Structure 1
Amino acid sequence: MPVARIESLDHEGRGVTHHEGKVIFVDGALPGETIDFSPYRKKASYELAQISRIVRPSPQRVTPRCRHFGNCGGCSMQHLDVAAQASAKQRVLEDALWHVGRVKPETVFAPLVGPGWGYRYRARLSVRYVPRKGGVLVGFREKKSSYVADMDSCEVLPPHVSALLLPLRALIDGFSLRDRLPQIEVAIGGEREEQMTVLVFRILEKMTAEDEAALRAFAETYALHIYVQPGGPDTAVPFWPMPIPELAYSLPDFGVKLAFAPTEFTQVNHGINRSLLRRAMSLLAPQKGERIADMFCGLGNFSLPIASLGADVVGIEGADALVKRAARNAAANGLAERSSFAVANLFEITPESYAALGRFDKMLIDPPREGAMELVKSLPHSADEAAPSRIVYVSCNPATLARDLEVLIVQKGYRLRGAGIANMFPQTSHVESIALIERA
């Protein structure tokens, strides 16, 4: 059986080593460990493997807190100390910047970290009726599988949501349409004293009167607010109790509060979101009189803090509903005069359509996983007076961040002043990061 020493972690949290000219990716292995491994998939240049025996464990290896770890696909790094997880993600970011983008930051920012457990204020739970497993299952998907994990608790969900998993199974198991309910979305807003938890039930057929009565009783027993969703996200409507107040989260550092619908995108980790905003605003340094673009602005998570610091912000977003939400949030916070929002497909932007937006002094970019390639290609060269003097780029994908930074640094003449990670998703391999780009 092959023996190897693990060299690093990859972007999926697997241990990486080399053996007989191949790269070996080992599930659950940690850097510095010596292990026996057993391949389960072989390709010409690499193999996927599992640990057969740990010969010498890493001092950073810990016992996973969750008993479903390894089966549930929601987490992949519970076996690594949470502080070490941040360091590992920083290395993933730096490796991507160099190997994908051929760029290095002048400064590596200290990781932004927070609580390692109970942090997920948003979640999408799968539901499946499985008679051979005793009825309905509610939870995350199994690792590398479309099956729903048989779980009765979750350590990354807030405790009161984790405690709902078994009652939800019993509730849905009693529904007449238990095999027509594939998903429950969780959204939490407010502070501890006024915390509000919404469950959005994706129900594909009309409920019977008995189903509706059971769902109302469930909401009242557990102090929940219930939406039902017969189709896409836009079809979600309040169900019980009525009327349902709006969800919202606050950003105390900037004196703003943002309302959101339960199916609209918000960050899952409220604490790290606040830390990320503090760093972003420190790096961007909005000033009165500046005109700043917030590209992929969503419902105004970055736009409103920019405006609260005195700059004029222009938020651009592809989803009309989010643009309207951002404008309402700006008005509700008294920031409408310093905020404007527009709908545009930033994946199809051109130098000409970018120029039509007018000159921006600075820019914040916060794209989805696909990155912002067409946007960065459309920016003027940094030597051009029309180019933003400073860009803060927030990313949820190190590979597309690195690709886009190569354009900004190599082709557009900017400098990568700094970059670092925010541990938005502890216990997972997900890497959230932030980079500062300035004129040379």
Structure 2
Amino acid sequence: MAQFYSAKRRVTTRQIVTVTVHDLDGLGQGVARHNGKALFISGALPGEQVEVDIVEDKRAWARGKTRRIITKSSERVTPRCPHFSQCGGCQQQHVSPALQQSSKAKALARLLSQQTGLEAEVDLVIAGEPYGYRRRARLGLSYQPRSKTLQMGFRQAGSNDLVSLTQCPVLKPELNALIPPLHQMLSSLQAVSRLGHVELVLADNGPLLVLRHLEPLIAEDRRKLEQFSHKYQLMLYLAPDSETLEQVNGEMPFYRIHDLTLTFSPRDFIQVNGGLNEKMVSQALAWLDLQPDDRVLDLFCGMGNFTLPVGKYVENVTGVEGVAALAAKGAYNASLNDLHNVAFFQHNLEADVTAQPWAAEGFNKVLLDPARAGAAGVMDHIIKLAPQRVVYVSCNPSTLARDSQNLLASGYQLERIALLDMFPHTGHVESMVLFGRK
């Protein structure tokens, strides 16, 4: 008699528990205790009793999703965006802005305290408007052959699938208003199935649009795009590949800060939250306590977001940036604003800097604004320069904590910590700290 192998059917039992949430982590997850370990719960707030689906259960912690709210927190608010439950762009629109900021500040202070051994405390929260703040957004485009429709929107949380948007309240109103007519116009193009993404940016001299297309556009499609750009007074750019950018019409975009004009290319990095960027730059300049005879070094300077405003108040400022195009744009903007005491250099700041022409200058103050990887490659050189003050702008608390240990071990003290609420309703924690020599 023949016997056939039959795999045993795996039976998964969903665990449902009821807990009381006691904290909110920096990512906007409720934190409770269950079976003697931390349980992180999406969609739950401190003070709430919730019914939770356990979705991941590890030895030291577990993760769950809110199934039902039994008692509701007074800090729970109604999300303004109709797409909030599907779109992965925001995670905390159900949380009051005050609680978002306080939970991020606590998470930042906790991490810095653990890593440095100090009693770190966030003594300043720099915040702006919780909605209508984003001046830049990239919207994915995906043509659905079965329904013959174009999807335009952001990715779902933990997925590559797009959520088709009708609005996005965190965008600047000028950009938010473009979403429905832009979707309608793109849907009418012959190349609708061969579009990659669209980028919207609000410069101080108007909005701009960059369209990534995957094959050459026919004349009729170009005409429709140009008509759309004229109707809505857009600067229009076409991107046939990742390297090429064709400006079809409009001026060179710029933004103003500290009475300076900074021009930029649509592909250049600029801070997404323009209002908070102004507050951040002003606070950094105040912490540096700039004097006429100061010589300042600005590392990871981009196109001069901090460098150029600093140049208005000091004898000399040097900006160093790894991306050549940004360093060149910074030099151009220095000339445009008649700042002749500002110099820009291009160098990979993860590599050795000691042989660089700017490295031996007698800088007495340093500002750095690295990417998420932090500034490990230049910390030893900063310590060698022995500046009086160091202002560190960070988009990653973990690498900030790591780099802080080098400064603290070399005779610096942590004088101020600010939370930068650069991305309301998201889990991003941005900060700025001031170090002074003992």
Confirm whether residue 395 of structure 1 aligns to residue 387 of structure 2: no
Return the alpha-carbon distance in structure 2 between the equivalents of residues 93 and 421 of structure 1: 8
Q: Are residues 1:286 and 2:290 paired?
A: yes
Question: Deviation at 1:428?
Answer: 1.3
Residues 103 and 402 in structure 1, CA contact (< 8 A), matched pair in contact too: no
1:159 aligns with 2:173: yes
SS of match in other structure, 1:136: strand
Structure 2 counterpart of 1:245 = 251
Distance 2:374 2:33 in 1: 31
How far does the alpha carbon of each residue in 1:377-430 deviate from its partner, in whole angstroms, 9 at most, with x for none?
33336xxxx411100011111111111112211x32210001011111111121
The residue aligned with 1:169 is 183
Tell me which of the two structures has the higher relative contact order, counting C-alpha pairs closer than 8 angstroms and 6 or more residues apart.
Answer: 1
> Of 298, 302, 309, which aligns to 2:306?
302
Secondary structure of the residue aligned to 2:155 is coil
Query: Per-residue deviation at 1:163?
Result: 2.4
Does structure 1 retain, via aligned residues, the 8 Å contact 2:235–2:251?
no
1:344 to 337, 342, 347: 347
Using the size of structure 1 for normalisation, the TM-score is 0.92
Answer whether contact 1:392 1:436 (CA < 8 A) is retained: yes
The residue aligned with 2:245 is: 236
CA contact (8 A) 1:139 1:149 kept: yes
Structure 1 residues 244-283: aligned runs within 5 Å: 244-251=250-257, 254-283=258-287
Aligned to 2:412: 414
Using the alignment, how far apart are the partners of 1:39 and 1:133 within structure 2? 36
Shift in CA distance, 132/437, structure 1 to aligned 2, threshold 3 Å: farther
| Contact 2:295–2:364 (8 Å) recurs in 1 | yes
Question: 2:424 — aligned with what?
Answer: 426
Q: Secondary structure at the match of 2:53?
A: strand
The residue aligned with 1:122 is: 136
Q: Secondary structure at the match of 2:403?
A: helix
Aligned length: 423
Say whether the 8 Å CA contact 2:135–2:175 is kept in structure 1. Answer: no
Report how far residue 370 of structure 1 moved. 1.1
1:439 and 1:354 map into 2 onto residues whose CA distance is: 25
- 1:150 is aligned to 164
**Cα displacement string for residues 142-166 of structure 1 (whole angstroms, at most 9, x for unaligned residues):** 1111111122111101223222222
Q: Secondary structure at the match of 1:392?
A: strand
Q: Is the 8 Å Cα contact of residues 199 and 225 (structure 1) preserved in structure 2?
A: yes
Structure 2 counterpart of 1:413, which letter?
Answer: G
**In the alignment, does 2:318 pair up with 1:314?**
yes
Moved more, 369-378 or 2-11: 2-11
Aligned mates of 1:426, 1:156 — CA distance in 2: 8
Q: How far 1:351 moved relative to its partner?
A: 5.7
Q: Which letter maps to 1:203?
A: H
Report the structure number with the largest CA radius of gyration: 2
| Conserved 8 A contact 1:351-1:379 | no
The alpha-carbon distance between structure 1 residues 180 and 45, as it changes in their structure 2 partners (threshold 3 A), is farther
Q: Name the counterpart of 1:85.
A: 100
Q: Give the superposition deviation at 1:350.
A: 5.2
Q: 1:422 and 1:64 mapped to 2: Cα distance?
A: 22
User: Hey, what does 1:197 align to over in structure 2?
Assistant: 207
Q: Residues 128-154 of structure 1: CA distance to partner in whole angstroms, max 9, x if unpaired?
A: 112456511111111111111122111
Which of 62, 65, 71 lines up with 1:47 in the alignment? Answer: 62
Find the aligned partners of 2:50 and 2:116 in 1 and give their Cα distance.
Answer: 32
Taking the aligned partners of 1:147 and 1:438, their CA distance within structure 2 comes to 47
8 Å CA contact 2:26, 2:103 repeated in 1:
no
- Aligned mates of 2:380, 2:147 — CA distance in 1: 52
Alpha-carbon distance in structure 2 between the residues aligned to 1:329 and 1:282: 23
Asked if 1:361 is matched to 2:360, the reply is no
Q: 1:133 to 1:10 in 2, by over 3 A?
A: farther
Q: CA deviation at 1:320?
A: 0.7
2:20 matches 1:5: yes
Conserved? CA contact 2:122–2:419, under 8 Å: no
SS of 1:379's partner is helix
Question: Are 1:102 and 1:406, in contact at CA under 8 Å, matched by a contact in 2?
Answer: no
* Stretch moving more, 420-429 or 361-370: 420-429
Structure 1 CA distance for aligned equivalents of residues 286 and 343 of structure 2: 22
Whole-angstrom distance in 1 between the partners of 2:119 and 2:311: 31
Match in the other structure for 1:27: 42
1:209 corresponds to which letter in structure 2?
A
On the 8 A contact 1:354/1:379 being kept in 2, the answer is no
Residue 229 of structure 2 corresponds to 219
2:203 counterpart letter in structure 1: G
Please report the RMSD computed on the Cα atoms of aligned residues, expressed in angstroms: 1.8
- Sequence identity percentage: 37
* Unpaired segments ≥5 residues, structure 1: none
In the alignment, does 2:61 pair up with 1:61? Answer: no
After TM superposition, the structure 1 stretch with the greater mean CA deviation from structure 2, 293-302 or 80-89, is 80-89
